Amino acid sequence: MWNVFFLGLVSFFADISAEMVYPIIPLYLTSVFGTTPALIGVIEGIAESIASLLKVFSGYITDKYKKKKPIAFIGYATGFLYKTALIFASSWIGVFGARVIDRIGKGIRTAPRDVMVCESADKNRMGTAFGIHKALDMAGSAIGIIIAYLLLTSTPGNFNYKKIFFLSMIPALLSLAIFPFIKEKKKKPVVSKREPFWKNMKKLDSQLKLYLLVAFLFTLGNSSNAFLLLRAKNVGFNDTTVILLYLIYNVTASLLAIPLGRRSDKVGRKRLLVLGYIVFSIVYFGFAIAYNKTFMILLFILYGVYTAMIAGVERAFIAEISPQELKGTMLGLHSTIVGIALFPASAIAGILWTTFGAKSPFIFGACLSLIAAVILLVFLKGGKYSEQKNNNVCDIAQ
């Protein structure tokens, strides 16, 4: 599991760097360049779409050339380039270009990193491995948010943005410094007569196809976290204290990712996935009826529980039942499907909020989540997939 730990450390430092910058980008765009909220939405939407589309192709290239570590390194290195581009940006167009660089890196690194986590885990501890990685990932996000909060409150209204961008480059470099400690399981690349991934869909397990479909359906109701933060402001939180709610969410997910991943190794992925969707539904119904700050804090804690239940477990499930030669592709495809669904999800949420009020997008998301839970409960096979489909489990690389 040392390899999993080092991969987690890479994400840990990368997320510290990312979250130091992410909350202040809207402030930077509006206060320095006079950018409108609508334009900020367009910038983020285009950047996220690029990341989503790249994930499946990154996974395909990973499977084709068997070069996971170099591809992941390139993806994480763009985080450093992103901060550099922010420092030299002299207009909102420059910031937009920097965000595109950052999201390209996200799209490149996700699939090869997840494949390395898979290959580094014992077949009976896949959930634990992805739980360890997710715990470190979320812990890095929490620390980055704390730093962002301290920076926001130390000099309110008078930020030295470029100094902050410069400081965020330090953890980005630390994430790259971990790579020499990561061991990649070498496989001979196959670069000839390989069909495009979409022609291999017939090889996929029916359960995997079902889960990809359900993930898309569920994500249509899982809009941007920005709506959760906006809802929190409705009940009395301000721009600064809202960040602390996001911190609570990240800390909760980080603390529970490992035990819940380990739990999925014992009872099977289905129970955790179904329960996770039910918890999400409860959370969203809660956001619809939220009426005070204490209730809102409890909802963000429960939202962290949902994330710990789903994030690592679903990756373990996908890795276990994907064909051996398509694991990177399928992990990337899942991320792409979720990313594509986030576009209409946020658009639907915005329309519902504007037309019917703040409660409506959360009721809509809660209902879709319940439907997804029922589909998985009825049609998804139970048991431990790592034991049922040993021929599909990642090769062990101790």
Amino acid at 180: P
The lowest-confidence range among 134-143, 255-264, 347-356, 375-384 is 375-384
Residue-wise pLDDT for 125-181, tens only, equals 878 888 898 899 989 989 998 988 888 777 666 667 888 899 999 999 999 999 999
Does the structure show a pLDDT above 60 at 15? Answer: yes
The lowest-confidence range among 45-59, 186-200, 201-215 is 186-200
DSSP 199: G
Does the structure show a pLDDT above 70 at 371? Answer: yes
**Among the listed residues 148, 47, 61, 150, the one whose alpha carbon sits nearest the alpha carbon of residue 100:** 47
DSSP 268: -
CA distance 330 to 315: 10
Pair 262, 321: CB distance under 8 Å: no
Higher pLDDT, 152 or 89: 89
* pLDDT for position 187: 59
The lowest-confidence range among 109-118, 288-297, 328-337 is 328-337
Pair 62, 111: CB distance under 8 Å: yes
* pLDDT for position 392: 45
Helix/strand/coil for 360? helix
> In the structure, what pLDDT confidence band is assigned to residue 363 with cuts at 50, 70 and 90?
very high
> The tokens 């765009």 sit on which residue?
29
CA distance 157 to 165: 17
**The pTM of the whole model exceeds 0.75:** yes
Does the structure show a pLDDT above 50 at 370? Answer: yes
Residue-wise pLDDT for 299-318, tens only, equals 999 999 999 999 888 888 88
> In the structure, what pLDDT confidence band is assigned to residue 385 with cuts at 50, 70 and 90?
very low
Domains of the chain and any CATH numbers: 2-181+200-392 (1.20.1250.20)
Burial 248-287 (b: 16+ CB within 10 A, else e): bbbbbbbbbbbebbbbbbeebbbbbbbbbbbbbbbbbbbb
* pLDDT for position 109: 86
Does the structure show a pLDDT above 70 at 264? Answer: yes
Pair 288, 366: CB distance under 8 Å: yes
Pair 313, 272: CB distance under 8 Å: yes
Does the structure show a pLDDT above 50 at 391? Answer: no
